[in-house]
Structure 1
Amino acid sequence: MARIGIIGSAGRMGQALADAIAAAGEVHSGGVDKGDDVLALARSSDVLVDFSAPAALEGNLDAAMEGGIPIVVGTTGLEERHHWLCDNAAEQIAVLQTGNTSLGVTLLAHLVREAASRLGEDWDIEVVETHHRMKVDAPSGTALLLGEAAAKGRGIDLASHSDRGRDGITGARKAGNIGFAALRGGSVAGDHTVHFLADDERIALSHLAENRRIFAKGAIRAAQWLIGKPVGRYTMPEVLGL
């Protein structure tokens, strides 16, 4: 049985991860939160799963590297520097970082990329996401993941081809850009729809998360898959063999 350690164990996601570890028949080797000894957890685990905060990522990666074990990073709200830290850690250990650990979202991103690669620029792409009122970052990590999938399908750079926060007199929509809209309210675990809109027809590809258990289940499957992998940076599609 694999020993799986949880970083960010006190929250609702931490409890969902602990339940998913038990359901998978693996061993929950412990959990840590702000101020706790991550290195000690790394040394008693076969793999770490991090759902803490962007500010803690560097220390968590350092602990994983010192402990010589792989790590799954599901923390959202990461910036360019955090991705550089993941790249750097992946030179010494196996790192799987993703904006969403849901297996359904992973497949959705694959479908979005396929659709974007086959539909021309006369099809506009809009990513719409809804989350609970307590979520602090927007667009969500999943929305950005889906936007990146669409951009890769189109062969463009998302950073220079995205529209966010439209307000006022914005002018006509710029052809080829990918739009984002974020809704917040209630207790929604996470709904995402990628709209492909052309003259006279539309396609909508959606994923609706009813419970955070789906993220925990996917994260634990990713953790099981990551154990024993060579040094490098991995993605959720690889877990599904996509």
Structure 2
Amino acid sequence: MSIPQTGPRHVAIIMDGNGRWAQMRGRPRLLGHRAGARRVREIIEACPDNNVEYVTVFAFSTENWKRTQTEVAGLMSLFRRYIESEAQTLLEQGTRVRFIGDRLRLDAKLQKLMNWIEALTAHNTRCNLTIALNYGGRDEVARATKRLAQDVADGKLDPASITDETLPRYLDTHVLPDPDLVIRTSGEARISNFLLWQSAYAEYEFVDTLWPDFTRATFEEVLSRFGGRERRFGGVKT
């Protein structure tokens, strides 16, 4: 029996194309990242109206440290300003903010702001925004495996009891449902080390639109296509 189709409860987004958007206009790449940050607000506001309870956005990967020092520094400054400028709006909208990824490499001020906005919005329930910051799927699994191995070494976990449902309890996303839909903008058709474990049965949409041009209307068009898909989770139609 196939599973009845509904809209996605959890949408994950690889927000690609900010730098190219700016370069196409003869502007610095960081201008595109600022335009992309503004687009996040529009998409978050659209989620409750479309019955999307969770949205996870890929803001900075573990591989993005390879970019120029100027761009990385500019992005870190942008993340700090985003938290400071959007906190009140997110609170009033009923959006709960969480972060996933390895925070240890991030500067102390940014870590403090991340902890602050998580605590500020902890009781919100209208929408759940998760920001993947210094995040990589392989890195996440490696860190989770270390924690699991430590629990085995400490006698807290019996190796014989480990199943495919055990590791998710150690992932950064352990409090979140798996994504139903993963969207990547900018025309690239790869997953770039994003939510590797969690997206095993997610539907994917690769759209040509660059992220700063990804409007609410485009988002809702993608959501409508999801409703027409048949998700069998390894089963067959009967």
TM-score, L = length of structure 2: 0.33
Say which structure is richer in helix: 2
Greater relative contact order (Cα < 8 A, sep 6+):
2
Say which structure is richer in strand: 1
